[in-house]
Amino acid sequence: MTEPVHLAETRAAYDTVAVDYAALVTAKLPELPLDRAPLGAFAELARAAGGRVADIGCGRGHVTAHLAALGVDAFGVDLSPRMVALARRAYPGLCFEVGSMTALDLPDGRLGGVLSWWSIVHLPRELLPRVFAEFHRVLAPGGHTLLGFHGGDDEHVRRDRAYGHPVSLDVHFARPEGITGLLAAAGLVVTATMWQAPGEGRPAGGVPVRPQALRWPRSYGLVHNLGAAGLSNRLFLGRRQGGGRRGPATKEGQSCDSPSPRS
């Protein structure tokens, strides 16, 4: 099957910028309490849910490692082989695999958590239902999702440079209520949201996010794979609804799905 152009472009772009991107973002997390706060809540919830946690679009793996340091049995998946190579080198005790969130090579219903930390931002909106169906499929009932993405008016920008390199890379901005609806349709119910003002936390020198154009500069979602409990508020932490598969057919195997060497 022919690969969609946007996946090939995104992979090529991150393969190109991998080293410079990794150097920029890895050093930043200790300076970003507003990033660490939702990650900490997510880690606690996912630990309580049980099961492993997949960091989808993990990049160089520093957030995967942060979750691991918080006691989460975390592993990473990324579209870019060079990103995965950097992650494996940086964190040899953790597991990282090449893969796409549009078709995860993970079995149904096992994970306690799925993190997508600024990785859905390169997906065209029409693919998000499929991606969220995949998140729902791989989560155990009661598992949690945390999304980080750029808020905006469902627009996208096409970058021809990023992190000092020529690339072809689309960055998509999403209306948070639209994301809420897509998550709900996939069986993932938003339990909490967090907004960050422009300039709070993203590294300078990367992909410009045109904050002047954004009503919602950054959003986080903590999403619960819901049982019968219903909505209490609006965090983009999502939880999977019980029962019924909504995603594609079962995927078998992937070494990251086996128990971690640490457990």
Ligand X SMILES: C[S@@+](CC[C@H](N)C(=O)[O-])C[C@H]1O[C@@H](n2cnc3c(N)ncnc32)[C@H](O)[C@@H]1O
Interface contacts to ligand X, rule CB under 6 A: 7, 10, 14, 25, 56-59, 63, 78-80, 83, 100-102, 117-119, 122
Q: Which residue has the tokens 């049982």?
A: 227
Comparing CB distances to ligand X, the nearer of 100 and 225 is 100
Separation CA 1–CA 253 (nearest Å):
21
**Measured at CB, which residue is nearest to ligand X?**
59
At CB < 8 A and 24+ separation, what contacts does 244-249 make? 244/187, 245/108, 245/109, 245/137, 246/133, 246/136, 246/137, 246/186, 246/187, 247/108, 247/133, 247/134, 247/136, 247/137, 247/138, 247/186, 248/103, 248/130, 248/133, 248/134, 248/137
Nearest to 183 by CA among 152, 157, 214, 149: 149
* Choice between 118 and 135, CB closer to ligand X: 118
Q: Which is nearer to ligand X, 115 or 226 (CB)?
A: 115
* Calpha distance 70→66 (Å, rounded): 6
Q: How far is the CB of 189 from ligand X (least distance, A)?
A: 23
Please say which residue, 111 or 189, places its beta carbon nearer to ligand X.
Answer: 111
- For the bound state, the minimum distance from the C-beta of residue 62 to ligand X, rounded and expressed in Å, comes to 7
Residue 165, strand partner residues: 162
Closer Cβ to ligand X, 10 or 225, answer by number: 10
As a whole number of angstroms, the distance between CA 37 and CA 148 comes to 12
Query: Nearest to residue 5, comparing CAs of 163, 136, 127?
Result: 127
Residue 94 CB, nearest distance to ligand X (Å)? 14
Tokens of 61: 């793996």
| SS3 state of residue 72 | coil
- Tell me the closest approach of the beta carbon of residue 245 to ligand X, in angstroms: 21
Minimum CB separation from ligand X for residue 227, in Å? 28
DSSP class of residue 141? Answer: E
Closest approach of ligand X to the CB of residue 175, in Å:
19
Nearer to ligand X, 47 or 122 (CB): 122
Q: How far apart are CA 135 and CA 129, in angstroms?
A: 10
**Cβ-based nearer residue to ligand X, 21 or 189:** 21
Q: How many whole angstroms separate alpha carbon 65 and alpha carbon 88?
A: 11
Q: Nearest distance from residue 89's CB to ligand X, in Å?
A: 15
